[in-house]
Structure 1
């Protein structure tokens, strides 16, 4: 198994390409489409790095996976699929997120909330093949109600559930999020062998660390600063809920949710041929 990480400095997001070295089959996890909310313009350069990598190594893209509906960046899943093929995949609880935000954005009647925008919806413990590799989906709600982690051999891709051990854990105050569920999901991940590699979806470089990193182990995550300082569920839930009250909403929350719950498609164009993203007033 080959793992290549791509760090987007604008959103502090890590995207991954996982490849079966024998068959040259690959999967992409949590791709990024650049977006400027001031101008409404997209930037394909983060995704182009991944596309160029896959093309240069003559890899065949099978799957384009999302760990959840991201609130801090737009997915490039559709753009990558148009260039290279592959099927877009997310956990089946995406329907919870779609139903919640369809109301907020007053989506038209033709916006369906059964996950039909995605090519495949994964259930907990369901498996996919990447060539000769096996990916197992692990339901890890908390940050959102639809988060999935992915286990491939000895590597866990945990999305936003865990950050690097010196930074902490994900917020749990988005609609449908739960600090209690987050704690229990983390405990589930920490039952894997200590040597299991953990690949996070972001790195925010806490004070004292200069460079972005995104790989740790289960043993190292057991010493995560948010867990060692809050050693039981009640302490963690209280800490997480109080901390989340102090956090500003992500800068790209509104555009990201509208695009990502559509698997990377922008809303259907209006009669003038232009697609629009909505900003609900005084709702968040």
Structure 2
């Protein structure tokens, strides 16, 4: 049986979140949610997350899992808010501890910010499976963009996070700490070895050349037309392209707030004596 998939596109961050459900049992999971965040004011809101909540309630779905494909650098996760409203277990790939270790130093966090992944309720290993109603979801470690990236396969669908974009946009950058173009090539090769008709769901789309935003493709389409890694592109050619391209890219607009929140499963820093939470901005560190 294949899952029902409902996509939610967040244009301010070009992020796609998913509600994935078992048609038989109405059990569901959420992948890569977004908390609205205004960088100019530091204000958060739940508009995008509330759209997901409204859909789940309208469809009478029961959320069992709230999953992240990686520690995102371009948006804040709404996982704790969604869990509060809908229930479910927050999970991520177990290598998230390496991200926590790296960025704990960047932000100079103290002992109150553990680097053992305990902010998440479930840490996944490569090849591990979980149940979603009568369906089975498999965790695939797909590092390269970050060392802790995972993809999720359920039925004929794979949610690839930031490994791949739509074919006319290519592949993810690899210049964040612990990223590696060679590793990304091998991760993508693993995804593109699935059957040709396998549905692939992107975490982002930027609508290049003014085309409509899109986020679903197939193994066949990626292998035939992806501008960075179609059939015939070898590992060395890809690594050269990706390394040269990454050297021209600026940091994501929301990387400073996003990493420090997302590495802690979306939990905000503890409020200080005045009742206000504060994010840290490391100067000249990234």
| TM-score bin, normalised by smaller chain | over 0.9
TM-score of the superposed pair, with normalisation by structure 2: 0.97
Distance 1:110 1:40, change over 3 A: same
Aligned to 1:157: 159
1:43 pairs with 42, 45, 50, which one?
45
- 1:244-265 residue CA offsets vs partner (Å, 9 max, x unmatched): 1111110000100011001010
Q: Residues 223-262 of structure 1, C-alpha deviation per residue, up to 9 Å, x if partnerless?
A: 2111149811111111101101111110000100011001
Aligned pairs (5 A) from 1:97-108: 97-108=99-110
Offset, 1:271: 2.2
Q: Deviations over 1:11-48 (max 9, x none)?
A: 01000000111111000000000101111100200000
Whether contact under 8 Å (2:119, 2:265) holds in the other structure is: yes
In structure 2, distance between residues paired with 1:52 and 1:278: 33
Residue of structure 2 in register with 1:23 after alignment: 25
> Hey, what's the Cα distance between the residues in 2 that align with 1:229 and 1:129?
34
**Alignment correspondent of 1:55:** 57
Shift of 1:53: 0.4
> For structure 2, which runs of at least 5 residues remain unmatched after alignment?
none
Aligned to 1:261: 263
Specify the alignment match of 2:213 in structure 1.
212
Are the counterparts in 1 of residues 222 and 230 from structure 2 also a CA contact under 8 Å? Answer: no
Give the corresponding residue for 1:244: 246
In structure 1, how many angstroms separate the alpha carbons of the residues matched to 2:230 and 2:6?
Answer: 30
1:169-248 matches, within 5 Å, as 169-209=171-211, 211-222=212-223, 223-228=225-230, 231-248=233-250
Deviations 1:91-140 (A, max 9, x none): 00000000000000011212110100001000000001110011000000
- Verify the 8 A CA contact 1:230 1:236 in the aligned structure 2: no
Deviation at 1:208, TM superposition (A): 4.8
Q: Distance in 2 between matches of 1:178 and 1:270?
A: 38
Per-residue CA shift, 1:40-70, capped at 9, x if unaligned? 1002000000000001111110000000000
Distance of 1:100 and 1:227 partners within structure 2? 29
SS at match of 2:152: strand
Aligned length: 283
Query: What does 1:26-175 align with in structure 2 at a 5 Å threshold?
Result: 26-175=28-177
Distance of 2:266 and 2:112 partners within structure 1: 17
How many angstroms apart in 2 are the aligned matches of 1:145 and 1:271?
36
Report the aligned-residue RMSD.
1.0
Shift of 1:206: 1.1
Distance 1:33 1:230, change over 3 A: farther
Extract unaligned runs of 5+ from structure 1: none
TM-score (norm 1): 0.98
Q: Give the secondary-structure state (helix, strand or coil) at the position aligned to 1:165.
A: coil
Q: 1:219 to 1:281 in 2, by over 3 A?
A: same
Aligned equivalents of 1:2 and 1:62: distance in 2?
15
